[in-house]
Structure 1
Amino acid sequence: MNKQQYTDLINQLTDREIMFHLLLTQLILIVISTILGFFLFDDLSAFLHIFGWHDVNIWKVGGCIGLGVVILDLVLMKLLPPSYYDDGSLNERLFQSKPIWQIAAIAAMVAISEEILFRGVIQTHFGLIISSLIFAVIHYRYLFNLFLFANIMALSFLVGYIYLVTGNLLVTIFMHFVIDFLLGLVIRFSKKKSPRIQEGMNHE
């Protein structure tokens, strides 16, 4: 499948179908995490040990670096041609018509499921490089855009490094949430509307 075919496929899906596929994907990630975790961790307490609930780094490191990533992204969006951030309109379809609470729920769901699998399970047992490469490749739509793929690869290594340094999965979960939530808000309140959304507005 090439980029145009992928974009056409996304445009053929309804918003409800896109949300269904997102929920299904996150459920699959949780199931994979559960199966791998059952074999890779000695017991439940070993898994729970990677969650440090009273660690101030959750807010200080996860929050600040997450905010920094978003600010850098916004600067690059201003400086670079729009084509550099073209992901086939999936992010626009996900966030532009959603209320803030749904954007927060989506960001939280994705952050939790992806971080548990890629950092909590895979990186804990197979290392930073393998987990970061798998994380980047699993975001299939970015493979069509060299800049976005390099972007997601760099972000994957950054998040993995933060987990390596802090040893606390909650730090990267919160960091991931901050990035997705704030960028979701940027898309939600952007003046630019995707063709499907604009068409719906024109018929109101």
Structure 2
Amino acid sequence: MKQSEMIKQLSDQELKKSLLLTQLSLLILAISISIVVFDRLSDWLLQIRWNSEEIFYYGVIPGIIIILFNILLYLVVPKKYLNDGGINKRLFTSMSPIEILYFTLLIAIAEEALFRGVLQYTVGYIIASLIFAFVHIRYLKKPVLFLSVVLVSFYLGYIYKLTGNLLTVMTAHFLVDFLLGLFIHYKGEVYVYE
């Protein structure tokens, strides 16, 4: 069954619940692997540092760059190449702005905790970035979407490699998903990397 057909069979609440369970599973996986990989939880927590200048330069500015990249894609690439099967449109048009805030915050925390804070820390930048891209399986048959996810994944991985600070990549990831989620909510278009 095609993804778009499966989506039509789910209610808005079931779709949100699925997203919530997926992200909570990623967060639990990140915590579980961290318990094995790190000697102490405090070692893992060293990757989370509040440094407003670093968060601005390596979180906010890259987030804005990724958003501008998405806007450029939206303006120059035919819409059929940016269609993810309707999941993002369905999710974000059914959410209130406050739900978008909470969901995209959870997505940024869960995905970056796992892919940068655990996987990149243990298996390296390239492998973690590729795993992040391939986890977004629904983009595999959409070359433009998949390539953009790969580029964003390597960009976020590089930011983490430079800073070693999960708050920078969580900030960038959150800004991208939240602002593009709001765009979808109000315009019904574009995609995000959740």
Aligned counterpart in structure 1 of residue 143 of structure 2, from 128, 146, 157: 146
Q: Name the structure 2 match of 1:180.
A: 177
Aligned pair count reads 189
Deviation per CA, 1:4-37: give whole Å up to 9, x if none.
x111111211111101111110111112112111
Following TM superposition, the consecutive aligned residue runs of length 4 or more in structure 1 with deviations greater than 6 angstroms are none
Letter in 2 for 1:78: L
Q: Does 1:9 align with 2:14?
A: no
Please tell me whether the aligned partners of residues 93 and 188 of structure 2 are also in contact (alpha carbons under 8 angstroms).
Answer: no
User: Larger radius of gyration, structure 1 or 2?
Assistant: 1
Aligned-partner SS, 1:189: helix
Q: Hey, what does 2:81 align to over in structure 1?
A: 84
Name the aligned partner's letter for residue 164 of structure 2: G
Task: Report what 1:74 is aligned to.
Answer: 71
Matched, 1:30 2:24: no
Gaps of 5+ in 1: 193-204
Q: Percent identical across equivalent pairs? A: 41
Q: Is the 8 A contact 2:112 2:169 kept in 1?
A: yes
- Asked if 1 retains the 8 angstrom alpha-carbon contact of 2:12 and 2:94, the reply is no
TM (norm. structure 1) is: 0.89
Q: Distance in 1 between matches of 2:149 and 2:66?
A: 11
Distance 2:57 2:127 in 1: 27
Aligned residue identity for 2:106: M
The answer to whether the aligner puts 1:159 opposite 2:163 as a matched pair is no
Report the Cα offset of residue 55 of structure 1.
Answer: 4.4
Q: In the TM superposition, what is the alpha-carbon distance from 1:191 to its structure 2 partner? A: 6.0
> Which amino acid in the other structure matches residue 119 of structure 1?
R
TM-score (norm 2): 0.94
Instruction: Give me the whole-angstrom Cα distance separating, in 2, the residues matched to 1:52 and 1:191.
Output: 36
Q: SS of the counterpart of 1:86?
A: coil
Q: Residue in 2 aligned with 1:201?
A: none
Report the CA distance between 1:56 and its aligned residue: 1.7
CA distance in 1, matches of 2:58, 2:26: 25
Q: Given residue 100 of structure 1, which amino acid in structure 2 is its aligned partner?
A: P
Query: Following TM superposition, by how much is the alpha carbon of 1:54 offset from its aligned partner in structure 2, in angstroms?
Result: 2.8
Root mean square deviation, CA, Å: 1.2
Residue 111 of structure 2 corresponds to residue 101 of structure 1: no
Q: Distance in 2 between matches of 1:75 and 1:149?
A: 16
Describe the superposition over 1:85-110 as per-residue Cα deviations: whole angstroms up to 9, x where unpaired.
Answer: 11001000111132211111111000
In 2: Cα distance, 1:162 partner to 1:90 partner: 28
38, 52, 59: which one aligns with 2:56: 59
